[in-house]
Amino acid sequence: MSDVVFTVEASTVNSTRVDVCAGGHAFSIDEPARMGGTDAGPNPVEYLLGALAGCLNVTGHFVAKEMGFTIESMDIRLEGNLDPLVFMGKKLGVRAGFKEIHVWIDMKCDAGEETLAQWAQAVETRCPVSDNLRNSTPLKIAFTH
Amino acid sequence: MSDVVFTVEASTVNSTRVDVCAGGHAFSIDEPARMGGTDAGPNPVEYLLGALAGCLNVTGHFVAKEMGFTIESMDIRLEGNLDPLVFMGKKLGVRAGFKEIHVWIDMKCDAGEETLAQWAQAVETRCPVSDNLRNSTPLKIAFTH
């Protein structure tokens, strides 16, 4: 089996909003009014956290099934902190994005402690979005105008 | 000014779907039927690409305004490739997530070549999602059950 390619297309609606097409689905990304936006949807870093939650859920269920136990539910809270002065061009020497991301997962399932510890390790290793955040991912950005 | 904290909450709907709350907004993440999902929304890695598009748009407009030119539109296409066998637990020694992400930005704007080159460099440096992907981001995951 070779690599699977995922493609997404986005178009500017205004200075803070893009509308995105992904497969048969569409969604809007924007900033809230207090950040100068039109609040048509969650902002980019909220989608980033959401993507991680979605990936932990699907990977978690996949690995649990493989290990022979059932997850009844996962409630996931995610939090990231960043320094907005970097985005605003008013600070150097600090990273622009989340300095760290905290994830709290509250699960209902029928597995014991030892099984869950093995499960958690496998999930963190095999979750694609976790990998892309935790480890450096090459971005190749090309501009035409 | 101190760090800004962004928080998102997600709950399992089924083994592939979570519903996410971010501020006053909600969105669904799922997998398509061919990947065993219920197709209630884009999948996690599509949201990851979308988050990058949204962040490049807002950062791009912010930096352009600062530099004194106007962006009329940005059409952004993003593509990432990953090996699904890692997620499936059938392959080791390869990363789980996107091996690289290609972004093509087609712009309409009133800036010249030299200005655009400076702009592109500033955008790539100051875009939070670009930073979180390009550079290692610590994830702290805690489980309760």
pLDDT digits (tens, 9 = 90+) for B129-142: 999 999 999 999 99
> Do A117 and A58 fall within a single domain?
yes
> Do B29 and B90 fall within a single domain?
no
> Do A4 and A49 fall within a single domain?
no
In chain B, residues with a C-beta closer than 8 Å to the C-beta of A50 are 8, 10, 20, 22, 27, 29, 47
Q: Residue B97 pLDDT more than 90?
A: yes
pLDDT of the residue at B145: 87
Dihedral angle of Cα B142, A103, A9, A141, to the nearest 10 degrees = -90
B21 touches chain A (CB under 8 A): no
A contact residues 96-115, partner B, Cβ 8 Å cutoff? 96-109, 111
What is the C-alpha separation between B48 and A58, in angstroms, rounded?
15
pLDDT of the residue at A70: 95
What is the C-alpha separation between A58 and A53, in angstroms, rounded?
9
Q: Which of B4, B5, B7, B8 has the most A C-beta neighbours within 10 Å, making it the best mutation to test the interface with A? A: B8
| Residue the block writes with tokens 């985005």 | A87
Q: What is the DSSP letter of A45?
A: H
Is B145 inside a domain boundary? no
Is B98 inside a domain boundary? yes
Tokens standing for residue A25: 């689905």
Tokens standing for residue B39: 């197709």
| Contact assignment for A104 to B144 by CB distance below 8 Å | yes
| Contact assignment for B86 to A126 by CB distance below 8 Å | yes
> Do A90 and A76 fall within a single domain?
yes
Backbone angles phi, psi at B24, to 5 degrees: -90, 10
Full domain range(s) for residue B83? 43-134
Q: Residue B114 pLDDT more than 90?
A: yes
Task: Render pLDDT for B36-92 as a digit per residue (tens, 0 to 9).
Answer: 999 999 999 999 999 999 999 999 999 999 999 999 999 999 999 999 999 999 999
Backbone angles phi, psi at A100, to 5 degrees: -155, 160
Taking 70 as the pLDDT cut, the residues of chain A under it are 1
Is A69 inside a domain boundary? yes
> Do B86 and B104 fall within a single domain?
yes
Number of structural domains chain A divides into: 2
Is B139 inside a domain boundary? no
> Do B55 and B21 fall within a single domain?
no
> Do B81 and B50 fall within a single domain?
yes
In chain B, residues with a C-beta closer than 8 Å to the C-beta of A88 are 62, 126
Percent of chain B with pLDDT over 90: 97
Q: What is the DSSP letter of A92?
A: -
A69 touches chain B (CB under 8 A): no
Is B37 inside a domain boundary? yes
Neighbour tally for A36: CB within 10 Å: 12
Is B142 inside a domain boundary? no
> Do A52 and A31 fall within a single domain?
no
> Do B20 and B64 fall within a single domain?
no
> Do B117 and B59 fall within a single domain?
yes
Output the CA angle B2-B4-B6, nearest 5 degrees: 160
**Which CATH number is B68's domain given?**
3.30.300.20
Name A75's Cβ contacts closer than 8 Å, sequence gap at least 6. A105, A106, A107, B9, B10, B11, B12
What is the C-alpha separation between A124 and A131, in angstroms, rounded?
8
pLDDT of the residue at A112: 93
Task: Render pLDDT for A7-23 as a digit per residue (tens, 0 to 9).
Answer: 999 999 999 999 999 98
Beta strands in chain B (DSSP E): 4-12, 18-22, 25-29, 71-82, 100-109, 139-144
pTM of this prediction? Answer: 0.98
> Are B9 and A77 within 8 A, CB to CB?
yes
CA of A69, closest CA in chain B: separation in Å? 13
What is the C-alpha separation between A55 and A36, in angstroms, rounded?
30
pLDDT of the residue at A66: 97
> Do A58 and A119 fall within a single domain?
yes
Nearest-by-CA chain A residue for B29: A54
pLDDT of the residue at A65: 97
Is A143 inside a domain boundary? no
Q: Which of A20, A43, A47, A116 has the most B C-beta neighbours within 10 Å, making it the best mutation to test the interface with B? A: A47
What is the C-alpha separation between A70 and B41, in angstroms, rounded?
23
In chain B, residues with a C-beta closer than 8 Å to the C-beta of A19 are none
pLDDT of the residue at A145: 87
What is the average pLDDT value for chain B, to the nearest integer?
97
If 0-12 CB within 10 Å is exposed, 13-18 middle and 19+ buried, where does residue A49 land?
Answer: buried
pLDDT of the residue at B85: 97
> Do A91 and A124 fall within a single domain?
yes
